[in-house]
Structure 1
């Protein structure tokens, strides 16, 4: 049986201070990463040594329902550093920030959410822009 390859409906463009719709946004510092090294990675597959450079966000309509079209990219506004640890299932008892996220987001340990360094919490279906550890300098 052939191996299935997941395709993600994402349009990745170079960091810019202005979106196609004219919104202003922060961008990473000039030269902070090689665009050719960037990959789209599901949050659960983040490994120690991978560098996160941004997130991929779904489009929503005026009632916050997901819209069926390509997603957009939000780059982090700082130079990314390699992750000390890989992604781990969300644990609200891990630290005060995780406890706060559990309360605010209304999620629990069995919610399927994931956290990465710094206890940033992501939805189970979240895609991140990463530079794999094999390509980080």
Structure 2
């Protein structure tokens, strides 16, 4: 909680239970990991951002995959961080609520996957759950990238 001495109000601050490691070739048995290019981003600029908060100019470089129990109930910890295996480009528009009428891919997604109006679309037509966390280089820091 953050307290303001002037108004004596409190504002809750959300903390995400995530440990982010730098990309490495360490992997579990049988898993193949493709690493992003070495100069794709500066790890000091990476922020954890809810999918709905991605803005035009931000660069999404990966996702945080939730951990589920045997009943597919999300647990309060991250299972892994998944970096994209390519040099990501800055977003051209802000994240938007999923719209199945946006294009043929969105229509296909809506017809074949359990996507609802609460989902968010980032990076063209990539759709994320409402509680998805992404690894983002904010637009203010993207200008500092090499």
TM-score of the two chains, using structure 2 as the length reference: 0.84
In structure 2, what is the equivalent of residue 17 of structure 1?
Answer: 25
Give the superposition deviation at 1:41. 0.3
Give the superposition deviation at 1:63. 4.6
Q: Does 1:129 align with 2:135?
A: yes
* Superposition map of 1:91-130 within 5 A: 91-108=99-116, 111-130=117-136
The secondary structure found in structure 2 opposite 1:118 is: coil
Give the superposition deviation at 1:89. 0.5
TM-score of the two chains, using structure 1 as the length reference: 0.89
* Superposition map of 1:45-56 within 5 A: 45-56=53-64
Q: 1:106 to 1:70 in 2, by over 3 A?
A: closer
Q: Does 1:74 align with 2:82?
A: yes
Please identify the structure whose Cα radius of gyration is greater.
2
Give the superposition deviation at 1:65. 3.4
Extract structure 1 runs of 4+ deviating beyond 6 A: none
Superimposed CA distance per residue, residues 59-107 of structure 1 (whole angstroms, 9 cap, x where no aligned partner): 1234533334344210000001100001000000000000011011133
**Unmatched segments (≥5 aa) in structure 1:** none
2:64–2:135 CA contact under 8 A, matched in 1:
yes
The secondary structure found in structure 1 opposite 2:38 is: coil
For the aligned residues, what is the CA RMSD? 1.6
**Unmatched segments (≥5 aa) in structure 2:** 1-8
